[in-house]
Amino acid sequence: MHTFLGIPTQVLFGQLTLGLINGAFYALLSLGLAVIFGLLNIVNFSHGALYMMGAFAGYILLQVFGVNYWGALVLAPLIVGAFGIVIERTMMARLYRLDPIYGLLLTFGLALIIQGLFRNSYGVSGLPYAAPPIFRAPLQLGFMVLPAYRAWVIVASLVVCLATWFTIEKTSLGATLRAATENPVMVSAFGINVPRLVTLTYGFGVALAALAGVLAAPIYSVNPNMGADIIIVVFAVVVIGGMGSILGSVITGFALGLCEGLTKVVYPQASSTVIFVIMIAVLMVKPNGLFGRAA
Amino acid sequence: MVDAAALATPAAAAPAASSLSVSDLHAWYGESHVLHGMAFEVPKGQVVTLLGRNGAGKTTTLRSIMGVMNKRKGSIRFEGRETIKLPSRAIARAGIGYCPEERGIFASLSVEENLMLPPVVRPGGMSRDTIFELFPNLKERLSSGGTKMSGGEQQMLAIARILRSGASLLLLDEPTEGLAPVIVQQIGRTISRLKAEGYTIVLVEQNFRFAATLADRHYVVEGGRVVDTFLNADLQSNIDKLHAYLGV
């Protein structure tokens, strides 16, 4: 058997791939958080619950309406994104002039309510969601065997993250968004409808979370706690990458997934804490995060 | 009948058609009452200045016209339409362009993105080519970061970007502040050119010598209201009074 530093390469690559997959979800979720935080200045604590809603939307679409995975990949983000827009218009929009702590309390409360409702209806044991048939055959990479669905998740996440980055950094819509992040009053004074921009941005961030939820459904089982489990790590990722930095959240998401995978090989006991240790180290050296701008 | 009714309104009674007509304008920063019944007229196609010391309320007046002051009362009519209750974006869309004192250039946007940011609100805005003819420096710097340019270039960008939108009334807040004399001259030439093209301009200035080269009419602002007004032609005969007002 091949080894690398005394570790069987199969094990090493297996864990690194798992890390990359977790990283793909960290990246998608922290990207949505970064987009929302950038413009709304709200730390969206309901992000995990919305990710879970995305997975459930996929599950319900299949079980009740017979909509397959590909349909769910489009519909679930739209449905959950629309739910997010209603929340933003009816509740969050009232909080922008108040201390950010109110936004945090609202979104945290919403997360608890949403989770509770789903727990009530579906219990806490996971529900199965089969990967689409096209991904049945694993990929033979020579040095390892990679389940095709996992490869798809990594590619899909990368494409969505890069498309989002491109839209924000390189298009005129993105320029308007960046300008509104920097100085919303000035952007309004040019005749741009900033509240509508805020609403759509929140809807988009939520849709990203829901998309991650659908992608996750065949890997992790669909269950009401899935969001609460992952979101704490995602917040650490956002803090390490730098609040509000788009590219930072994507790179950090993937990199920390890999770190986690590597730790599972080298020192498994630390695998669930390694990200928080990195967070503390980064905050000591760069309080604004690796890619964050000074406040 | 319609004409007679229109003639009865104060705006129509003014010697030239008013672009902007401000009356009994009050504004507050939180609890602090800063404008106490501002009133002035800006005839179409003219350059009007608001002169006054720091803290007199000139900038607040422009911010109130633009709708970025949260608490304001009174009347601001633009082209005959009451705007006091409109949100900022609707005021911009009515055709008012705003160049704030701090210039409002976005650091996270390139020069080109800054230039192209304001949407076109009415037909008749300047083309990019005309803008580059007026501000040749900008063309060279399109891909630089908005705030990486010199203060003078940033000031030109701040003026340039509101010319594309089709706004007919420009609010310029101390466009020469802190700039070298040669840049001040360039901005002066630009404002003259804009006036010749038919723009109506409200200019806030501390430097009345600069203002005197451009303006048709001056309003002296003190304590949040207009305390005096004279035509530019009468500036010399009022120069002692003006020195007293401005404390220079």
Q: What CATH number does the domain containing A19 carry?
A: 1.10.3470
Nearest chain A residue to B143 by CA: give it.
Answer: A170
Contact of B104 with chain A, judged by CB distance below 8 Å, is answered with yes
- A101 assigned to some structural domain: yes
Q: Quote the minimal CA–CA distance from B147 to chain A in Å.
A: 13
Mean of the pLDDT values across residues B54-80? 92
Contact state of A179 with B87 under an 8 Å Cβ cutoff: no
Q: Quote the minimal CA–CA distance from A48 to chain B in Å.
A: 29
Mean of the pLDDT values across residues A31-45? 88
Contact state of A182 with B66 under an 8 Å Cβ cutoff: no
Residues contacting residue A113 through CB under 8 Å, at least 6 positions apart: none
- A232 assigned to some structural domain: yes
- B17 assigned to some structural domain: no
Is the pLDDT assigned to residue A293 strictly greater than 70? no
Mutation target vs B (from A169, A190, A192, A197; most B CBs, 10 A cutoff): A190
| Chain A contacts to B (CB-CB under 8 A) | 172, 175-176, 178-179, 181-183, 185-194
Nearest chain A residue to B94 by CA: give it.
Answer: A191
Q: Quote the minimal CA–CA distance from B196 to chain A in Å.
A: 24
Is residue B34 very low, low, confident or very high in pLDDT (cuts 50, 70, 90)? very high
Q: Quote the minimal CA–CA distance from A179 to chain B in Å.
A: 6
Contact state of B109 with A179 under an 8 Å Cβ cutoff: yes
* C-alpha span between A275 and A257 (Å, rounded): 9
- A2 assigned to some structural domain: no
Is residue A202 very low, low, confident or very high in pLDDT (cuts 50, 70, 90)? very high
- A170 assigned to some structural domain: yes
Nearest chain A residue to B70 by CA: give it.
Answer: A185
Contact state of A182 with B106 under an 8 Å Cβ cutoff: yes
Contact state of A175 with B121 under an 8 Å Cβ cutoff: no
Contact list, B67 vs chain A (CB under 8 Å): 189
- B5 assigned to some structural domain: no
Full residue range of the structural domain in which residue B211 is found: 45-69+95-246
Is the pLDDT assigned to residue B211 strictly greater than 70? yes
Contact list, A188 vs chain B (CB under 8 Å): 68, 87-89, 92
**C-alpha pair distances (Å), B170 with each of A22, A93, A292, B223:** 53, 31, 36, 24
Give the relative orientation of helices A194-216 and A9-40 as an angle to the nearest 10 degrees: 160
Q: Quote the minimal CA–CA distance from A149 to chain B in Å.
A: 38
Q: What confidence score (pLDDT) does residue A162 get?
A: 93
Is the pLDDT assigned to residue A271 strictly greater than 90? no
- B54 assigned to some structural domain: yes
Contact state of B98 with A176 under an 8 Å Cβ cutoff: no
Mutation target vs A (from B89, B128, B154, B159; most A CBs, 10 A cutoff): B89
- Looking at the structure of chain A, the number of domains it has is 1
Contact state of B117 with A179 under an 8 Å Cβ cutoff: yes
Is the pLDDT assigned to residue A8 strictly greater than 80? no
Q: What is the domain-level CATH number for residue B177?
A: 3.40.50.300
Nearest chain A residue to B102 by CA: give it.
Answer: A186
- A293 assigned to some structural domain: no
Residues contacting residue B194 through CB under 8 Å, at least 6 positions apart: B163, B170, B201
HEC profile of chain B = CHHHHHHHCHHHHCCCCEEEEEEEEEEEECCEEEEEEEEEEEECCCEEEEECCCCCCHHHHHHHHHCCCCEEEEEEEECCEECCCCCHHHHHHHCEEEECCCCCCCCCCEHHHHHHCCCCCCCCCCCHHHHHHHCHHHHHCCCCEHHHCCHHHHHHHHHHHHHCCCCCEEEEECCCCCCCHHHHHHHHHHHHHHHHCCCEEEEEECCHHHHHCCCCEEEEEECCEEEEEEEHHHCHHHHHHHHHHHCC
Q: Which of residues 148-177 of B touch A (CB under 8 A)?
A: 162, 165
- A235 assigned to some structural domain: yes
Contact state of B104 with A188 under an 8 Å Cβ cutoff: no
Full residue range of the structural domain in which residue A126 is found: 11-285
- A104 assigned to some structural domain: yes
ipTM of this predicted structure = 0.85
Mean of the pLDDT values across residues B105-134? 91
Contact state of A190 with B107 under an 8 Å Cβ cutoff: no
Contact state of B113 with A194 under an 8 Å Cβ cutoff: no
Is residue A294 very low, low, confident or very high in pLDDT (cuts 50, 70, 90)? low
Q: What confidence score (pLDDT) does residue A26 get?
A: 92
Is the pLDDT assigned to residue B244 strictly greater than 70? yes
Q: Which of residues B182 and B248 earns the better pLDDT score?
A: B182
- B80 assigned to some structural domain: no
- B229 assigned to some structural domain: yes
Is the pLDDT assigned to residue A141 strictly greater than 80? no
Mean of the pLDDT values across residues A283-294? 80
User: Could you say which of B98, B108, B116 has the minimum Cβ distance to residue A189?
Assistant: B98
* C-alpha span between B122 and B111 (Å, rounded): 23
- Looking at the structure of chain B, the number of domains it has is 1
Contact list, B165 vs chain A (CB under 8 Å): 190-191
Q: What confidence score (pLDDT) does residue A130 get?
A: 82
Structure tokens at A43: 């730390």
Q: What confidence score (pLDDT) does residue A266 get?
A: 82
Contact of B29 with chain A, judged by CB distance below 8 Å, is answered with no
Structure tokens at A270: 């630390």
Contact state of A179 with B119 under an 8 Å Cβ cutoff: no
Contact list, A183 vs chain B (CB under 8 Å): 104, 106
- A155 assigned to some structural domain: yes
Whether residue A260 contacts residue A19, with contact meaning beta carbons closer than 8 Å, is answered with: yes
HEC profile of A37-99 = HHHHCCCCCCHHHHHHHHHHHHHHHHHHHCCCHHHHHHHHHHHHHHHHHHHHHHCHHHCCCCC
Work out the widest C-alpha separation in chain B, in whole angstroms: 58
User: Could you say which of A182, A185, A191 has the minimum Cβ distance to residue B108?
Assistant: A182
Is the pLDDT assigned to residue B140 strictly greater than 60? yes
Q: In what order do the strands lie in the sheet with B18-29?
A: B32-43, B18-29, B71-78, B81-82
User: Could you say which of A172, A183, A191 has the minimum Cβ distance to residue B93?
Assistant: A191
**C-alpha pair distances (Å), A130 with each of A17, A198, A218, A227:** 20, 36, 5, 19
Q: What confidence score (pLDDT) does residue B13 get?
A: 43
Is the pLDDT assigned to residue A11 strictly greater than 50? yes
